[in-house]
Amino acid sequence: MKPFVLTTCVWGDIHIDAMMTSMVPTLLAPGNLPELAQHFDTTYRISTTHRDAALLRVHPLIVAIQDHVKLEFVVATDEAAPGHIHHVNWYHQAIADARAAGALVAFLPPDVTWSGVTLGNMGRHMADGRLGTAMPYVRVISESILPAVAALQQSTRGAIDISGRDLMRLAIEHMHPLSAVATDASRHGRPSLEMLWHVRGEGLLLRNMVRELFSFNPNKLDITHLWYAGRGAKLDDVHIVTDSDEMLMLSFAPLMKDVGLFLQDRPIVGADTARQSLHPLNDTPLNPYFAEHSIRLHYEKITLERWAAAEALAELEFKQAVVARELMQICAAVQEFGGCSIAIRLLSSGLLEGLLAERWPVRRPSTIVVPTDAAFGPSPPWDLLAEDMADDLQRWIFDRVFLGLFEPAKGLADRLAVTGSKLHSVEIARQLGVAGHSVVVTNSAAASGRAG
Amino acid sequence: MSSTFAAGEEERASALAACLMTSGHEPRAIAEWRRRTAWMMHRAGERWHELVLLSEVMDDFARSRGPGDPAPAFYRVTATMTGGRDPLAMAEQCYTLGLALAPDRAESLYNLATLLLRRGETGRAFAAFDAVAHMPPAADAQAHAFLNANADWRCGEILEARGELESAAARYESTLRTVGGFGPDQLRYPRLLRRLKRHEQAAAEYERAMPYSHRYAPEFVLPASAVDFPADAVPPGKPVDPLAIWPVETLPDGAKIIFCAGLYFRLQPGMSPEHADALLDLASTKGLRRLFKRIVRCAPSAEALRR
């Protein structure tokens, strides 16, 4: 059987308590660790301190784990309270060791609860040849969820087997403000890669620009510093869970965590998630692929009409996000080239006022024409920024967007823009490939009937 | 333990200072105590202030619940923390008391102003933000707090709402000159410029708003040396009534050390901490003197009282 390493990095009473009250009991549900161990040669690797290793070794549930898998302790420090950087380094060391052993890897954070089929379903996808899986999770208040899960354990005295729907109901009850602030109801926001929409009485719809991998093959998939699928990853490499019945995790956070990050009176919009996704630590080749997926987190049977309404809203907002991401990349690339500030400013204005998403050729490779500053002559069209000129600004931009990539041999003379316009006297200064589109910088580009 | 906020926090602060004087401490020590206690009031206010923000988030979430959805556990958790007290009122009172002790504390004035905005007291809020925009922040304020710039921005928002658009634009411009990127809020400025028909400038500002940046809430960015409640006196991380009385330890001779409002008190053997609650009942100087005969000493640190 193929080797599989499950890895946890943990230290300190708070996290050990969460691990043994919640994570390990739900890990021992029949559809989780025991199911995974049927199909893989599985090792559970715990990186911790000397003190905590001694505590864990004798815990009955840790002993019970060994009925299913090999157990390995990595005592990585003598410090009782190592710094946070150890957490990252220990996980990366686990990846390196798994890679050397030809093993698959999955992260098991200590302060979480799993639904009762999560690992089993994850294993199926990895056995089917996927190189990684990405699972949804919801942040919940640790002060309240732990007693609730502890109460479940008292009735079982061992494994806790929670369905995805019951877990999602717990998520709604114990929702942490860090997740609640990302919903469509919130007047506030925070830096976020995700947005959530309420589906009353049934759950939440999730869209995100990227997600960390839950499991992956480190020999076939490059992993970034924050455990995203990295360079070279292809669309079908990663299974993205789209229904919480399949896999779900609740991630614990103390109530007062990260309050300083909240953005007051500024709910999250698509462009915000786009910017966040372009941060170097979050920017991966699969971001556009993640952004396409609607993920249903539900505690009831799904009523299609209710979800369709939320999905339509989410699609509108996330189209804004995807378009924003592409245009931000295009503007950044053209800025590097220089000499096109007028066009960049017009594009930026149109984008940030939400004028472009409806017509932008998402997932259709296109040619975007960007005039140089010289092409505008002495009178750049700043009046396009007037409040009553939104349609004109939109038209100006789309007069310079052509479906299909640029072919130098054919040029642009006979092509029609998405508005039906043609460009006159196109003198090409430079051609770039950005975000799946061709960006053509021109020294002259008057559209039919328009200056500039 | 209980406390009440009577009117006249300055009088209260002076009376507590009088305790130190009666205890034999010199003016420099009293000034240091006032500085420490003002920071502790700020810190107490900030803890309640965080709850204000989180409550707003969860209120919005709760309103969108479906019928039959479980009530958010958030309210059970915070009820235990607050003991039925209103976080906004507590935060406001903490900042006010801190300002009575240290009127030049720009951080407390900014935070109070954000609460005044929540109450709809826009005029008072503007005056406070305007003052903060010109006050020096703490000497060791963290760079990303940008207290003055944030205060300027807040003034701009209020001016814009009032229709004073040119003045608002000037405030936004001043802020962005200092901070560079201002997160998603930055979009306000080019939108205002469009309204002012300053189209070319608006276009430039839209371009500036494209890349990622973050605006930290200065309310929750403390200066490096901001004094927190001593861990031996007050549990870390949770909201706290700064005028509550916290037992610290009992000495071998039966005397008790308690902590209240930034000061440690040593109570004579046999005296209950609740007796010291009378410190808060500052009806008259005579009453204070009578009370103080029963207290051996007070000091800014427990160490001084153990001797």
What is the chain A residue with the closest CA to B68?
A: A201
User: In whole numbers, what is the pLDDT of chain B averaged over residues?
Assistant: 83
Q: Which region among A13-22, A383-392, B235-244 has the lowest average model confidence (pLDDT)?
A: B235-244
- Residue-level pLDDT at B283: 32
CA distance A373 to chain B (A): 13
B17's tokens: 């200072």
In chain A, what residues touch B215 (CB-CB under 8 Å)?
263
Among A177, A184, A332, the residue with its CB nearest the CB of B58 is A177
Query: H/E element holding A369?
Result: strand A366-371
Q: Which region among B57-71, B110-124, B218-232 has the lowest average model confidence (pLDDT)?
A: B218-232
B193's tokens: 């410029």
pLDDT (average), residues A286-295: 95
Of all residues in chain B, the percent with pLDDT exceeding 70 is 79
pLDDT digits (tens, 9 = 90+) for A377-434: 888 999 999 999 999 999 999 999 999 999 988 888 888 999 999 887 778 889 999 9
- Residue-level pLDDT at A286: 94
Backbone angles phi, psi at A194, to 5 degrees: -135, 160
Among B76, B200, B216, the residue with its CB nearest the CB of A260 is B216
Residues contacting residue B182 through CB under 8 Å, at least 6 positions apart: B153, B175, B176, B213, B215
- Residue-level pLDDT at A78: 74
Residues A275, B63: C-beta atoms closer than 8 Å: no
Q: Does A143 touch chain B (CB under 8 A)?
A: yes
A63's tokens: 């002993």
- The letter for the amino acid at B25 is H
Which of B61, B187, B188, B238 is best to mutate for the A interface (most A CBs within 10 A)? B61
Which of A272, A382, A389, A396 is best to mutate for the B interface (most B CBs within 10 A)? A382
Q: How confident is the model at residue B97 (pLDDT cuts 50, 70, 90)?
A: confident
pLDDT (average), residues B94-101: 88
pLDDT at B19 over 70: no
Residues A254, B237: C-beta atoms closer than 8 Å: yes
pLDDT digits (tens, 9 = 90+) for A52-73: 999 999 999 999 999 999 999 9
Residues B74, A188: C-beta atoms closer than 8 Å: no
Q: Please, is B170 exposed, middle or buried when counting C-beta atoms within 10 Å of its C-beta (0-12, 13-18, 19+)?
A: middle
pLDDT (average), residues B260-288: 62
Among A180, A262, A387, the residue with its CB nearest the CB of B58 is A180
pLDDT digits (tens, 9 = 90+) for B249-258: 888 988 888 8
- Residue-level pLDDT at A300: 93
Q: Which residue has the tokens 């053997």?
A: B269
Cβ within 8 Å of B, A 406-425: none
CA distance A202 to chain B (A): 8
CA distance A378 to A3: 68
pLDDT at A240 over 60: yes
Measure Cα distances from A240 to A167, A216, A231, A311, B107 in Å.
Answer: 19, 12, 18, 17, 45
Cβ within 8 Å of A, B 11-50: 50
In chain A, what residues touch B74 (CB-CB under 8 Å)?
141, 144, 175, 177, 255
Residues A172, B70: C-beta atoms closer than 8 Å: yes
- Residue-level pLDDT at B1: 26
Closest CA to B239 of B76, B41, B44: B44
- Residue-level pLDDT at B3: 35
CA distance A344 to chain B (A): 7
In chain B, what residues touch A198 (CB-CB under 8 Å)?
64-66
CA distance A272 to A191: 7
Closest CA to A452 of A391, A389, A399: A399
CA distance B195 to chain A (A): 7
Q: How many CB atoms lie within 10 A of CB A421?
A: 20
CA distance B90 to chain A (A): 17
| Degrees to nearest 5, angle at CA B52 with B51 and B53 | 90
CA distance B57 to chain A (A): 6
Cβ within 8 Å of B, A 157-186: 169, 172-175, 177, 180-181, 183-186
Q: Which region among A242-251, A285-294, B36-45 has the lowest average model confidence (pLDDT)?
A: B36-45
Among A143, A185, A259, the residue with its CB nearest the CB of B61 is A185
Q: Please, is B290 exposed, middle or buried when counting C-beta atoms within 10 Å of its C-beta (0-12, 13-18, 19+)?
A: exposed
In chain A, what residues touch B202 (CB-CB under 8 Å)?
349, 385
Q: How confident is the model at residue A447 (pLDDT cuts 50, 70, 90)?
A: low
Cβ within 8 Å of B, A 211-270: 254-256, 259-264, 266, 269
Of all residues in chain A, the percent with pLDDT exceeding 90 is 82
Residue/partner pairs of B210-213 with CB below 8 Å, 24 or more apart: B210/A275, B210/A328, B210/A331, B210/A332, B210/A348, B210/A351, B210/A352, B211/A275, B211/A278, B211/A328, B211/A332, B211/B181, B212/A275, B212/A276, B212/A278, B212/A279, B212/B181, B213/B180, B213/B181, B213/B182, B213/B183, B213/B186
pLDDT (average), residues B290-304: 63
Closest CA to A116 of A79, A162, A153, A167: A162
Q: How confident is the model at residue A450 (pLDDT cuts 50, 70, 90)?
A: very low
pLDDT (average), residues A91-117: 94
CA distance B74 to B64: 15
- ipTM, 2 decimals? 0.93
Query: Could you please report the per-residue DSSP string of A188-219?
Result: -B-S-SEEEEEETTTEEEEEES----SEE-TT
pLDDT (average), residues B71-79: 95
pLDDT at A359 over 80: yes
Which has more pLDDT, A95 or A122?
A122
Residues contacting residue B34 through CB under 8 Å, at least 6 positions apart: B13, B17, B101, B102
Backbone angles phi, psi at B21, to 5 degrees: -65, -45
CA distance A298 to A197: 12
Q: How confident is the model at residue A125 (pLDDT cuts 50, 70, 90)?
A: very high
Cβ within 8 Å of B, A 22-51: none
pLDDT (average), residues A141-150: 95
Which of A259, A272, A277, A351 is best to mutate for the B interface (most B CBs within 10 A)? A259
Among B78, B183, B199, the residue with its CB nearest the CB of A385 is B199
A2's tokens: 């193929």
Q: How confident is the model at residue B229 (pLDDT cuts 50, 70, 90)?
A: confident
Which has more pLDDT, A308 or B32?
A308
Which of A262, A344, A387, A392 is best to mutate for the B interface (most B CBs within 10 A)? A262
Residues B207, A187: C-beta atoms closer than 8 Å: no
pLDDT digits (tens, 9 = 90+) for A184-220: 999 999 999 999 999 999 999 999 999 999 999 999 9
What is the chain A residue with the closest CA to B114?
A: A264
CA distance A188 to chain B (A): 7
What is the chain A residue with the closest CA to B50?
A: A259
Which of A187, A193, A199, A255 is best to mutate for the B interface (most B CBs within 10 A)? A255
Among B56, B64, B204, the residue with its CB nearest the CB of A183 is B64
Residues B195, A387: C-beta atoms closer than 8 Å: yes
pLDDT (average), residues B176-201: 94
Residues A331, B78: C-beta atoms closer than 8 Å: no
What is the chain A residue with the closest CA to B58?
A: A177
Q: How confident is the model at residue A157 (pLDDT cuts 50, 70, 90)?
A: low
CA distance A286 to A266: 28
pLDDT digits (tens, 9 = 90+) for A25-62: 999 999 999 999 999 999 999 999 989 999 999 999 99
- Residue-level pLDDT at A92: 86
Among A174, A200, A331, the residue with its CB nearest the CB of B210 is A331
- Residue-level pLDDT at B226: 73
Q: Does B253 touch chain A (CB under 8 A)?
A: no
Measure Cα distances from A66 to A33, A57, A70, A162, B288 in Å.
Answer: 11, 11, 6, 22, 68
Q: Which residue has the tokens 């701009």?
A: B156
Q: Does B215 touch chain A (CB under 8 A)?
A: yes
Q: How confident is the model at residue B262 (pLDDT cuts 50, 70, 90)?
A: confident
> How many contacts, defined by CB atoms under 8 Å, are there between A and B?
155
Q: What is the pTM of this model?
A: 0.90
pLDDT at B280 over 50: no
B192's tokens: 């205002």
Measure Cα distances from B111 to A105, A188, A316, B47 in Å.
Answer: 47, 17, 37, 12
Q: How confident is the model at residue B66 (pLDDT cuts 50, 70, 90)?
A: confident
Is residue A403 within 8 A of residue A364, CB to CB? The reply is yes
- Residue-level pLDDT at B61: 97
pLDDT at A298 over 60: yes
pLDDT at B158 over 50: yes
pLDDT at A159 over 60: yes
pLDDT at B276 over 70: no
What is the chain B residue with the closest CA to A380?
A: B200
